[in-house]
Amino acid sequence: MRANFTWFHGNKLKYGRDPALSTARDDLQPVGPVGLLQGEVNFVIGSSLFITGRGSHFPTGFGFQPQGGMDKQVYQDDSGVWHGSYWEYLSDRPQQV
């Protein structure tokens, strides 16, 4: 018998994704710790019989959270530039095999 297990955890951080001056979403901070759980078991029963079991869980997804928080006032200055935070987005996309 042989078995293995893999666990991976990473975090996506990408700043400046929406730098447009016409929107108040320009201070969004990407969030989305990504993990991977994977396991495999191999059995050798005889000289001509080999059994393998595999499984994985990949809880992907991402989101955007305002760096200033959701409790800030939103306003547009005289140049048409938005300030403050008004938008938050979360997307959960789990996968199982």
Q: Is residue 20 part of a domain?
A: yes
Measured distance CA(10)–CA(34) in Å, rounded: 5
- Tokens 């140049």 sit at which residue? 79
Q: Is residue 95 part of a domain?
A: no
**Can you tell me the mean pLDDT for 20-39?**
64
Q: Is residue 81 part of a domain?
A: yes
Coil, helix or strand at residue 25? helix
Interacting residues of 97 by C-beta distance below 8 A, sequence separation 6+: 54, 55, 56, 58
User: What total of structural domains would you count in the chain?
Assistant: 1
Is 38's pLDDT higher than 90? yes
Measured distance CA(72)–CA(50) in Å, rounded: 61
In the chain, the largest separation of any two C-alpha atoms, in whole Å, equals 80
- Provide the whole-model pTM: 0.49
Q: Which domain, by its residues, includes 78?
A: 2-90
Q: Is residue 97 part of a domain?
A: no
> Which residue, 4, 25, 3, is CA-closest to 16?
25
Confidence of residue 26 (pLDDT cuts 50, 70, 90): very low
pLDDT tens-place string over residues 44-81: 999 999 999 999 988 777 777 776 677 777 888 898 88
For all residues of the chain together, what is the average pLDDT? 77
